[in-house]
Amino acid sequence: MTWRTTGVAESTLPLGSLREVMVGSMSILLVRLPGGVRAVEAICPHLGGLLADGTLTGTRLSCPEHRAVFDLNDGSVVVDPFGIEPPEGGVDPIVVYPTRVEAGMVEVDLP
């Protein structure tokens, strides 16, 4: 994996904000939480919903399309929109990428 800049200063991400960025050819969603910035894949693996349009509650992000809810700490599905008890169900977890802040800029470790 390789550390890459997102072009986003940590200071420009208000607490609770969701910001989609392109890093190379990858669409990444940055989320500012009390414990730091998380980076996850920006597209819901279920039906392609834009997670930047989702709803953040604590460390849980819900997809705007079908209300699947993901834990931003590990990407796991915590609510399946079809009522199936996770981890079973029709929705895959989202990918979470390691982040760090160097010289005030958010970096993501990508494959």
pLDDT tens profile 5-26: 999 999 999 999 999 999 999 9
Residue 16: what residue type?
Answer: G
Q: Up-side HSE of residue 35: CA atoms within 13 Å toward CB?
A: 7
pLDDT tens profile 24-46: 999 999 999 998 999 999 999 88
Residue 12: CB atoms within 10 A of its CB come to 12
pLDDT tens profile 89-105: 778 999 999 999 999 99
Give bridge partners of residue 96 from the DSSP assignment: 40
How far apart are the two ends of the chain, measured CA to CA in Å?
Answer: 4
What is the torsion angle, in degrees rounded to the nearest 10, for the CA atoms of residue 63, residue 67, residue 68 and residue 72?
50
Residue 73: CB atoms within 10 A of its CB come to 12
Domain boundaries, the chain: 2-110
pLDDT tens profile 40-81: 999 998 888 999 999 999 999 999 988 899 999 999 999 988
Percent of the chain with pLDDT over 70: 100
Which architecture characterizes domain 2-110 according to CATH? 3-layer Sandwich (2.102)
